[in-house]
């Protein structure tokens, strides 16, 4: 397979990929970028194909994935998503996407074809977050040289959908659209602007109604701050992490003051500890569900005894980091044994 490229920031790439393992991110991306196609899709049917299909049949990088979604007419559309993190634009991308599309068709079984043996529609999507504008052809026909007297209709055609995150007009998208939220962070010119966006992140995610996206955003934002803004970003990253840790405690304190219970110090301290324990339990349960989604129920079951011994939120955060950064269940379990 062509297209194997070296990643400059694998940890950042893995964190970015985690956005697109969530139904809401893929659905919002299609709603924002797929134009009229999105009007004919039944988003309630959106499902990710097993990782084994991608790795065994397509031989892809860990940043590529395959989804499928039903149409209003009852057919299936396959969505092949390639995440492109390279700083240089790949001029052969149209050729790569034609290769991947053909491979998907060839690997589908008879049960996946239409009543007359028709192949399902495949929509190739490239998510690009590089700093340079994308200049490569988006149609394979534009890579083929001209032939004198070329008969009309024989030039190959296959287009892919290009989503340039850093040039998205996020202002024209709904505030709760996840792609728009990602674009706003990508387009932030300074660490200070990022800090302002972080201030409204919690409210936006509550509107989205996807609590599992919360830790994904935070992990990614911390990496962005460190990679793009040097020492300033690193200081802000530590400030934000401390602010997150204090948020649960401050919420309870403000509630106690409102109720007039702040004079009862013993009650307040007990309530804070109960809130902390409840928060830790929620984080354990969230990490357990995320592991089950990525590596399957068996790995999630093996993780339970380890999670049960953790009482520090930082240790649970290390488990979440490992979930994003590890490629296989075996690698993940080996790493979390030492937490």
pLDDT of residue 256: 42
Q: Classify 295 as helix, strand or coil.
A: helix
Q: Classify 85 as helix, strand or coil.
A: coil
Tell me how far apart the alpha carbons of residues 197 and 178 are, in angstroms, rounded to a whole number: 14
Task: Tell me, rounded to whole angstroms, the distance of Cα 219 from its chain centroid.
Answer: 11
Q: In angstroms, how far is the first alpha carbon of the chain from the final one?
A: 37
pLDDT band at 273 (very low <50, low <70, confident <90, very high): low
Lowest mean pLDDT among 17-21, 57-61, 69-73, 199-203: 57-61
Both tokens of 190, joined, read 């300074």
Distance of CA 278 to CAs 110, 207, 286, 287, Å? 50, 23, 12, 14
Do the Cβ atoms of 25 and 179 come closer than 8 Å? Answer: yes
Angle at 112 between CA 111 and CA 113, to 5 degrees: 95
Mean pLDDT of all residues in 261-271:
54
Lowest mean pLDDT among 40-54, 206-220, 228-242: 228-242
Share of residues in the chain with pLDDT > 70 (%): 71
pLDDT of residue 97: 92
pLDDT of residue 250: 41
Beta strand 64-71 with 121-128 is unpaired
Q: Is 128 left (phi over 0), alpha (psi -120 to 50) or beta?
A: beta
Tell me how far apart the alpha carbons of residues 203 and 143 are, in angstroms, rounded to a whole number: 46
Tell me the β-bridge partners of 66: 80
pLDDT digits (tens, 9 = 90+) for 25-83: 999 999 999 988 999 999 999 998 876 565 555 555 555 788 999 998 888 999 989 88
pLDDT of residue 126: 93
Do the Cβ atoms of 63 and 43 come closer than 8 Å? Answer: no
Do the Cβ atoms of 129 and 185 come closer than 8 Å? Answer: no
pLDDT of residue 4: 43
Sheet arrangement for strand 121-128:
41-48, 64-71, 76-84, 121-128, 161-164
pLDDT of 3 > 50? The answer is no
pLDDT of residue 243: 61
pLDDT of residue 295: 85
What mean pLDDT, rounded, does the chain reach? Answer: 78
Can you point out the beta strands (E) in 191-317?
Answer: none
Choose between 281 and 227: higher pLDDT: 281
Choose between 14 and 101: higher pLDDT: 101
pLDDT of 2 > 70? The answer is no
Mean pLDDT of all residues in 3-13:
52
Tell me how far apart the alpha carbons of residues 6 and 4 are, in angstroms, rounded to a whole number: 7
Tell me how far apart the alpha carbons of residues 164 and 129 are, in angstroms, rounded to a whole number: 6
Do the Cβ atoms of 127 and 165 come closer than 8 Å? Answer: yes
pLDDT band at 138 (very low <50, low <70, confident <90, very high): very high
Do the Cβ atoms of 62 and 327 come closer than 8 Å? Answer: yes
Both tokens of 106, joined, read 């060839």
Choose between 248 and 162: higher pLDDT: 162
pLDDT band at 7 (very low <50, low <70, confident <90, very high): very low
Mean pLDDT of all residues in 299-316:
84
pLDDT of residue 260: 47
pLDDT digits (tens, 9 = 90+) for 164-185: 988 888 888 888 888 988 888 8
Choose between 174 and 194: higher pLDDT: 174
User: Is residue 27 packed enough to be buried (19+ CB in 10 Å), middle (13-18) or exposed (0-12)?
Assistant: buried
């Amino acid at each position: 397979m062509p297209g194997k490229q070296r990643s400059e920031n694998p940890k950042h790439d893995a964190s970015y990929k985690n956005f697109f393992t969530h139904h809401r991110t893929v659905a919002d991306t299609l709603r924002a970028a797929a134009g009229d196609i999105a009007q004919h899709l039944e988003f309630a049917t959106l499902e990710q194909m097993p990782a084994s299909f991608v790795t065994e049949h397509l031989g892809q990088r860990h940043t590529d994935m395959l989804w499928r979604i039903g149409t209003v007419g009852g057919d299936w559309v396959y969505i092949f998503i390639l995440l492109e993190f390279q700083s240089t634009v790949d001029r052969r991308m149209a050729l790569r996407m034609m290769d991947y599309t053909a491979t998907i068709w060839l690997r589908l079984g008879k049960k996946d074809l239409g009543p007359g043996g028709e192949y399902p529609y495949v929509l190739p999507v490239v998510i690009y977050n590089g700093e340079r504008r994308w200049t490569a052809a988006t149609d394979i026909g534009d890579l083929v040289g001209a032939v004198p007297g070329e008969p009309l209709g024989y030039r190959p055609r296959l287009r892919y959908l290009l989503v340039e995150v850093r040039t998205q007009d996020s202002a024209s998208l709904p505030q709760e659209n996840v792609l728009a939220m990602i674009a706003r962070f990508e387009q932030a010119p300074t660490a200070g602007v990022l800090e302002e966006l972080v201030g409204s992140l919690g409210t936006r995610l509550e509107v989205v109604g996807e609590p599992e996206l919360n830790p994904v955003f935070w992990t990614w934002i911390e990496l962005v701050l460190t990679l793009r803004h040097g020492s300033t970003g690193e200081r802000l990253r530590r400030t934000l992490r401390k602010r997150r840790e204090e948020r649960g405690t401050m919420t309870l304190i403000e509630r106690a003051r409102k109720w007039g219970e702040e004079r009862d110090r013993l009650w307040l301290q007990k309530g804070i500890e109960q809130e902390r324990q409840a928060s830790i339990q929620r984080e354990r349960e969230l990490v357990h569900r995320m592991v089950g989604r990525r590596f399957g129920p068996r790995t999630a079951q093996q993780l339970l005894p380890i999670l049960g011994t953790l009482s520090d939120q930082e240790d649970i955060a290390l488990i979440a980091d490992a979930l994003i950064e590890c490629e296989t269940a075996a690698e993940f379990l080996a790493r979390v044994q030492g937490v």
